[in-house]
Structure 1
């Protein structure tokens, strides 16, 4: 998933503030075009400065990855929980609802 890679890139940058493109390619084990695509997206979000040689973190105070990146993580599980909540609206108050533990 794209967002997982982008979060990994941001996590590395939080620790180092600057990283070379070559390091990201070797460390994350993705092609240079894939890493470059992720870097362009992060740059559009204003989180990094991407240059030919590497990447610099712009937002020094970034403690948590932005909601834009988090919204696609665990999408199926979030939809399942939302569906359960929607179904709960139609249940009587005396009925029980069982939720599998792997979705909690």
Structure 2
């Protein structure tokens, strides 16, 4: 495979998944480890990716956010497995908060039949919850057209009317130093408020979010349980020093 072809393959995989592992790149490109490491170094010098232990992640702007549609087609199977594990923590009688994210949206199918109350700031979420006959409330406020999330001052005031047994929150970035982050400050404030109003808080995010840091901090790692998938041992050990981790087994 030519140099340019390998570079295109690497970038195509990164754009679809957000993160790639070295061993997977070696397999799909039928190349040596030294060749792939050299490719990653060249692409890092171009500023399009960042090398991390065991692979690489896509460089992302701290303030640009993907739409709900774009999020919903990335890492779909990983999100479903994370969603199933997250939903398994919910018991009858719970009042829960579902953040407006693509992984929290995947939780809804796994909540069918539960005797629970759900509060959400996701327009797509509340429609699906009602369609599946789950007891649901939606926050009032300003709607973000791109992500179908309700945010802003009215939403922050509105959420104070509730208290939650569990909150399930998405994150755009998971960083050992910076904590959980997202591109939008208004959304970060609402995520933080939902954490403060909940007895237990869970971050539901696949490993493509690891090592990323975005503009607005939600809260520190130790303030929530992380539910994720497929970490390498170094990442797992580093995270477990700071927070509780529930990992989907591949």
**Cα offsets for 1:21-77 (capped at 9, x unmatched):** 01100111100001011000000000000123111010478xxxxxxxxxxxxxxxx
Normalising by structure 2, what TM-score? 0.23
- Considering fraction of residues, name the structure with more helix: 1
Which secondary structure does the structure 1 equivalent of 2:20 belong to?
strand
* CA–CA separation in structure 1 for the residues paired with 2:12 and 2:60: 12
Give the corresponding residue for 1:69: none
- Residue 52 in 1 paired to residue 92 in 2? no
Aligned to 2:11, what secondary structure does the other structure show?
helix
List runs of 5+ in structure 1 lacking aligned partners: 62-104
Q: Tell me which of the two structures has the higher relative contact order, counting C-alpha pairs closer than 8 angstroms and 6 or more residues apart.
A: 1
- CA distance in structure 2 between the partners assigned to 1:3 and 1:27 by the alignment: 15
Could you say what secondary structure the match of 1:8 adopts?
Answer: helix
Q: CA RMSD in A?
A: 1.5
Aligned to 1:5: 6
| Length, aligned pairs only | 61
Q: Give 1:25's aligned residue.
A: 26
2:57 is paired with a residue whose SS is: strand
Q: Mapping of 1:66-85 within 5 angstroms?
A: none
Structure 1 stretches (4+) deviating beyond 3 angstroms? none
Distance 1:33 1:52 in 2: 15
> CA–CA distance in 2 between the matches of 1:40 and 1:5?
13
Give 1:16's aligned residue. 17
SS of structure 2 residue aligned to 1:30:
coil
For residues 24 and 8 of structure 2, what CA distance do their matches in structure 1 show?
A: 16
